[in-house]
Amino acid sequence: MRVDVLTLFPEMFQGPMTESMLWKARDRGLLDLRLHQIRDFTTDRHRTVDDTPYGGGGGMIMKPEPVVAAVEAVLADAPPGTPVILMTPQGRVFSHQIARELARYEQIVLVCGRYEGIDDRVRQLVITDELSIGDYVLTGGELPAMVVIDAVVRHIPGVLGAEGAADRDSHADGVLEGPQYTRPPVFRGLEVPRVLQEGNHAAVARWRREEGLRTTWRNRPDLLLRARLSDDERYLLAKFAREDAGKR
């Protein structure tokens, strides 16, 4: 998969994109990451990328010409239908499902905004989607772009071993993953749950689902409204609710 990133700060991608899983994906030819300096697409002597906002208000706005020129240059040899995604706090909220959908494309383009925003004509002319990574405002779209790349790349076949299949992740089906343990069997008096030590696969799967459900109930009850649950699982939720009522 090819990912083109348009940014004023390509150096920010050193480190996150050259370590661990992402480096392995690039090394194996599964991820072709190309960073483009938006400033290289300016045509004036001062290489200007920003200007003051029409209508006043503080801050600087990214000028449309270099961003649109950069997008058009990248799209010149991209497959038709390649998504051009603006990272912005005004976008729809990024999720596991969106990551999985994006991983199906041969190529995607991520545009990182900076300063107080980007001239809206960029969105009108070349942007196909706008993504936010959460309900808070960062100083730019670079960290969000790295978050999107990391989450998308995990869905490319061959990036994770079979053991780490992304379809079993937290968020894959609306129920979070439960707790995990490794050796030693007892640490500071806390024992690894018996069922995990005994290794009965069906019992382990049942325990994991129940504990995942418990974690979701405790930390993200909002997810349960959309989760696909069996009758047994609904029964368990009712049990957690009774336990909570007993604590109050």
Q: Say if residues 172 and 42 touch (Cβ distance below 8 Å).
A: no
Under DSSP, is residue 64 helix (H, G, I), strand (E, B) or coil?
A: helix
Which helix (H) or strand (E) segment holds residue 9: the answer is none
Among 87, 126, 152, 176, binds ligand ADE (CB under 6 A): 87
Q: Report the nearest approach of ligand ADE to the CB of residue 5 (Å).
A: 13
Of the residues 16, 39, 53, 116, which is catalytic?
A: 116
Which stretch, 41-49, 103-111, 132-140, 216-224, contacts ligand ADE (CB under 6 A)? 132-140
Q: Which is nearer to ligand ADE, 142 or 169 (CB)?
A: 142
CA 216 to each of CA 151, 168, 170, 236: distance values in angstroms, whole numbers, following the listed order: 20, 15, 10, 12
Among 133, 151, 153, 159, binds ligand ADE (CB under 6 A): 133
Q: Is 132 in the site for ligand ADE (CB under 6 A)?
A: yes
Which stretch, 6-14, 136-144, 163-171, 198-206, contacts ligand ADE (CB under 6 A)? 136-144
Angle formed at CA 8 by CA 82 and CA 22, multiple of 5 degrees: 60
169 has catalytic annotation: yes
Q: Which is nearer to ligand ADE, 10 or 113 (CB)?
A: 113
Chain centre distance of CA 70: 24
Q: Is the peptide bond before 89 cis (omega within 30 degrees of 0)?
A: no
Among 10, 66, 141, 212, binds ligand ADE (CB under 6 A): 141
Q: Say if residues 94 and 132 touch (Cβ distance below 8 Å).
A: yes
Among 136, 162, 167, 201, binds ligand ADE (CB under 6 A): 136
Among 5, 89, 169, 175, binds ligand ADE (CB under 6 A): 89
**What is the 3-state composition of the chain as percent helix, strand, coil, each rounded to the nearest 5?**
40, 15, 40
116 has catalytic annotation: yes
47 has catalytic annotation: no
Spatial CB neighbours of 173, under 8 Å, sequence gap ≥ 6: 227, 228
Q: Which is nearer to ligand ADE, 59 or 134 (CB)?
A: 134
Residues forming the active site: 89, 116, 154, 169
Provide the binding-site residues for ligand ADE, judged by CB under 6 A: 87-89, 113, 132-134, 136-138, 140-141, 144
